Structure 1
Amino acid sequence: MQQKLYLSILNNFEILYNSKKNYDVIIQTSEENKVIYAHSLVLCCQSSYFDTAFSDNWAEKENGKFIFKKPNVSYRILKIIIRYLYCGQIDLTIRSGLDILKLLAAADEFGINTLSEYIKEFLIKNLKDFLQNDSLKFLEFVFQHETFAVLNDYCLKTICQEPMILFGTDKILALPEHILETLLRRDDLALDAIEVWNNLIKWVHAQQPTVNKDPSKWTKDELTLMERTILKFISLVKFYDIPSEEYYEEVMPYEDLLPKKLRNEILKSYLAPGKQMKSPSRSSVLVNDEHLAQFASWIYKKDEILQKIPYKFNVIFRASIDGNTAADFHAKCNDKGATIVVAKIKGSNKVVGGYNPLDWNGNGDKSTPDSFLFIFEDYNNICTGRIGRVIRESHAVRCLTDYGPLFGSYNRGSNDIMVTRDGKWSSVTNSYPNINIPRNFVIDDYEVFQVIKK
């Protein structure tokens, strides 16, 4: 009933807007000879931007009408914004992703905060579709606007979790250099090292279309040109994670692009693997592939160990490298989605940890039926692994900015696994079954894996 009351009033305002009756504002847009007629009283009531503009006489006045110039906004976008100010209606479902971004930019500029938040929520909800349909123009527009920082981060996370939106497609060829570099620098990019390399080579060739596609036929000048183009990206490729067969097939033809010292180190890693340390950001020093297969089975809720692992496990944090404080943990692990925490107990062969299928953002308890704790009595023997699935789902995970990872909670303040702000570990059974994790213990090191479904 109430809806009928205010809808009729909004309808009258829309009629006023369309009729242009008694207008006193003429808005000149980016298109020549295309103007919008409006009423200053309506604009001032709905937007602090217009209220300031008219009160401070930003706009010129001619024959009693305000002449307002907005050459940076298209007629089509501005018409949608002004109509919204009159009747509060806007349909984003019929707009392209790029148009919606332009609407967001205009809403931000005019200080229409309610509309800005509504558009941001719509974009984030439908982000994957927009990136798939028009990823390059969409990404470039987001990166051009500093006010889109939150949206920018969502775009990067979505692409890192679903890299085939860009990588492996022709879209990668026209990706701006600074966006490609930003993506390759992220720890959560769900691409194998060889996939990163192959996409990078395609991109480099696209930037230098006159260079021969066959690297064995490059002239000295062509080699120099390609070296300059790829130089800043070489350090972003995890060459040590590329199997020797794939290195031989895919990388060796382009070996002249790699610094000589790096080529020698890569060769050493294949011929004398014990002499070469793997990249710490993509390999673990605490657990091996058998443990990861066991983790995958537990996440998948299977009793037997899976032969084909449906997840990627990327090491995004190691205390011995990244720091052992709560701030260090959250700096690396927030906004990364599902994670597994793995800790090696000092003076023993025990490895303990837990699975958080949500994230480590925010403050307070989080509910999930899918989390679990685990312990390996002897990490050298995969059969010693035991799991305890969450019992009190509403208190499965606790997120506190001044603590490290916390699993389970109780009103007395104890946790099934607690890591204090200064890196001290303890365990009190609350939300999970007792699997004999020690009450208080010291660790040698701990790691956090981002878990990404393939």
Structure 2
Amino acid sequence: MIYKSHLEFHSTFSLIKMLSESSQDVINDYGKLLENDEGYDVIIYVSENENEKEIHAHSVILRIRSQYFRAAFSKECHEKIDGKFIFRRPNISSQLFEIILRFIYCGKIDLENLHGHNILKLLLAVNELEIQTLINNIQEYLIKYQDGFLQQNLVEILETVYQHKPLSELFDRSLKKICEEPEILFNSNKFINLKPSLLELVLERDDLLLDEIVIWDNLIKWCLAQHSNISQDPTQWNNEDITIMKKTIHKFISLIRFNHISSESFATKIYPFKEIMAKKLVNNIRDGNTNTAFHNNCDNKGDTLVVVKIKDSNQIVGGYTPLNWDSSDTLKFTYDIFIFSFANKDNLQSLKVSYGNGSANSIYCRPINGPVFGISDLYFYEGSWHSYINDDSSYLKIDIPSGFNADDYEVFQVFKK
């Protein structure tokens, strides 16, 4: 703005000052109206240490400042006694409600003297009353000035606000921090009590900085905690236990990106190859490409690693199991099992891994087959290899061909040092 004279500037400044003083007078008058109860037509009952406290207000002001009250007053069936509107908010303390009411009347709020937990409660109350300006202000205050409180209570905050869309700023900030430092959540004693929908939100994040094998271990821990009557030892499970656990874990399987596990993780986390020795049990060229040769050399040998070189290709596939192979024609299960694929044997980064989902079909021991992972997920039959993985399979698809011959395949007995 350009002023033609000092007098014009002085006049404009005086007007601004006068308007500012006038606005302050209006705010003061509204404050007095709130304190003096004059002409009130609303009674609000709030809790105070389990004892109700009666607070008075004016419907015309509440209508203007709160979407919640505006909608409530428009209902003809709303409770009234002696011509006064009646509201009951037993979940809000009188201290917090009076803070909200003063903001509604005067546009002022002081959060500095409130503890972080009370600020969070205030935010939930304001969200319930749909006062959008205050919702935004309190979220901003928590994020800017209550970082210590947020750091120490991330899990509680995440659980508290995730179902409230207007609180998305605080939720997103908390979730991002947990993805950056996942031990805050996964090492917390509150983790096993996390609601399934919230756990799903965490696991589907691409920025969750946690190895998939660690996520898997924690997911198993969480699933077991949901069924305290089921043994912590999977070898003790009956068919009913297996079915219950399968249903519990099924929806989370696709969120664990087994195929994203790096070759370094494969070597040092999925199975510690730097700390093992291996003894070759079968070489199909040496021992014959038959199911008989496999069982004669590999049955009842404990931990084994199967490695298959696909013919006319650079691809190597296979699997690991701690279970004994045998010819009993039975299914066996364990969580500590996986199949794998190197799309290019010369490129360790091409590794993809799929862990078994804990179903009863981890391996299938049949005299007419060689190794069988799942029922038909990866198996040897009559001199050739096959892989049929669908939605009901024990393993996720990792780009293994449906049928192929092998230039060579070997089975190693694995010993930990």
TM-score, length basis structure 1: 0.49
In the other structure, the counterpart of 2:45 is 28
- 8 Å CA contact 1:60, 1:66 repeated in 2: yes
Deviations 1:350-409 (A, max 9, x none): xxxxxxxxxxxxxxxxxxxxxxxxxxxxxxxxxxxxxxxxxxxxxxxxxxxxxxxxxxxx
- SS of match in other structure, 1:243: helix
Task: Give the C-alpha shift of residue 56 in structure 1.
Answer: 6.2
Task: Please tell me whether residue 248 in structure 1 is matched to residue 271 in structure 2.
Answer: yes
Task: Please tell me whether residue 89 in structure 1 is matched to residue 108 in structure 2.
Answer: yes
Identify the match of residue 193 of structure 2 among 174, 185, 188: 174
Task: Give the C-alpha shift of residue 148 in structure 1.
Answer: 3.2
Deviations 1:228-286 (A, max 9, x none): 3323323333335132342237x977993559xxx5523x5599686994459xxxxxx
Report which of the two has the higher share of strand. 2
Distance (whole Å) between structure 2 residues aligned to residue 69 and residue 269 of structure 1: 64
- SS of match in other structure, 2:126: helix
In the other structure, the counterpart of 2:153 is 134
Distance (whole Å) between structure 2 residues aligned to residue 253 and residue 208 of structure 1: 26
Task: Give the C-alpha shift of residue 73 in structure 1.
Answer: 5.0
Task: Give the C-alpha shift of residue 70 in structure 1.
Answer: 4.4
Task: Give the C-alpha shift of residue 189 in structure 1.
Answer: 0.8
Task: Give the C-alpha shift of residue 172 in structure 1.
Answer: 1.8
Task: Please tell me whether residue 117 in structure 1 is matched to residue 136 in structure 2.
Answer: yes
- 8 Å CA contact 2:61, 2:105 repeated in 1: yes
Matches within 5 A, 1:217-256: 217-219=236-238, 221-240=240-259, 241=261, 242-248=265-271, 256=333
**Percentage of pairs with the same residue:** 40
Deviations 1:316-344 (A, max 9, x none): xxxxxxxxxxxxxxxxxxxxxxxxxxxxx
Task: Give the C-alpha shift of residue 142 in structure 1.
Answer: 1.7
- SS of match in other structure, 1:236: coil
The residue type paired with residue 153 of structure 1 is D
- 8 Å CA contact 2:135, 2:167 repeated in 1: no
- SS of match in other structure, 1:92: coil
**Unpaired stretches in structure 2, ≥5 consecutive residues:** 1-16, 273-319, 324-331, 354-417
Q: Residues 16 and 205 of structure 1: is their aligned pair in 2 closer, same or farther, counting only changes over 3 Å?
A: same
The residue type paired with residue 163 of structure 2 is Q
Task: Please tell me whether residue 265 in structure 1 is matched to residue 339 in structure 2.
Answer: yes
Task: Give the C-alpha shift of residue 19 in structure 1.
Answer: 4.1
In the other structure, the counterpart of 1:17 is 34
Matches within 5 A, 1:234-313: 234-240=253-259, 241=261, 242-248=265-271, 256=333, 258=335, 263=337, 265-266=339-340, 268=341, 277-278=350-351
Task: Give the C-alpha shift of residue 24 in structure 1.
Answer: 2.6
The residue type paired with residue 181 of structure 2 is E
- SS of match in other structure, 2:87: strand
- SS of match in other structure, 2:333: helix
Q: CA RMSD in A?
A: 4.3
The residue type paired with residue 186 of structure 2 is F
- 8 Å CA contact 1:101, 1:142 repeated in 2: no
Distance (whole Å) between structure 1 residues aligned to residue 193 and residue 252 of structure 2: 16
Identify the match of residue 165 of structure 1 among 184, 188, 191: 184
Task: Please tell me whether residue 184 in structure 1 is matched to residue 258 in structure 2.
Answer: no
Q: Residues 52 and 220 of structure 1: is their aligned pair in 2 closer, same or farther, counting only changes over 3 Å?
A: closer
Q: Residues 160 and 127 of structure 1: is their aligned pair in 2 closer, same or farther, counting only changes over 3 Å?
A: farther
Q: Residues 186 and 51 of structure 1: is their aligned pair in 2 closer, same or farther, counting only changes over 3 Å?
A: closer
Task: Give the C-alpha shift of residue 188 in structure 1.
Answer: 0.9
Deviations 1:183-214 (A, max 9, x none): 11111111122332232233223223344334
Rg larger for: 2
**Unpaired stretches in structure 1, ≥5 consecutive residues:** 281-454
Deviations 1:119-161 (A, max 9, x none): 2322443676454333343222322223334443333222212
- 8 Å CA contact 2:204, 2:255 repeated in 1: yes
In the other structure, the counterpart of 1:103 is 122
Distance (whole Å) between structure 1 residues aligned to residue 233 and residue 118 of structure 2: 41
Task: Give the C-alpha shift of residue 118 in structure 1.
Answer: 0.8
Distance (whole Å) between structure 2 residues aligned to residue 55 and residue 207 of structure 1: 44
Task: Please tell me whether residue 78 in structure 1 is matched to residue 101 in structure 2.
Answer: no
Bigger relative CO (Cα 8 Å, ≥ 6 apart): 2
- 8 Å CA contact 1:24, 1:65 repeated in 2: yes
Distance (whole Å) between structure 2 residues aligned to residue 98 and residue 196 of structure 1: 30
Task: Give the C-alpha shift of residue 218 in structure 1.
Answer: 4.6
Figure out how many residues of one structure are paired with residues of the other and give that number: 276
Distance (whole Å) between structure 2 residues aligned to residue 269 and residue 98 of structure 1: 51
In the other structure, the counterpart of 2:172 is 153
The residue type paired with residue 79 of structure 1 is E
Task: Give the C-alpha shift of residue 72 in structure 1.
Answer: 6.4
The residue type paired with residue 88 of structure 1 is G
Task: Give the C-alpha shift of residue 25 in structure 1.
Answer: 1.6
> Which deviates more, 67-76 or 229-238?
67-76
In the other structure, the counterpart of 2:57 is 38
Q: Residues 50 and 273 of structure 1: is their aligned pair in 2 closer, same or farther, counting only changes over 3 Å?
A: same
The residue type paired with residue 204 of structure 2 is R
- 8 Å CA contact 2:119, 2:138 repeated in 1: yes
Task: Give the C-alpha shift of residue 174 in structure 1.
Answer: 1.8
The residue type paired with residue 256 of structure 1 is F
- 8 Å CA contact 1:98, 1:138 repeated in 2: no
- 8 Å CA contact 1:26, 1:38 repeated in 2: yes
Distance (whole Å) between structure 2 residues aligned to residue 269 and residue 223 of structure 1: 31
TM-score, length basis structure 2: 0.53
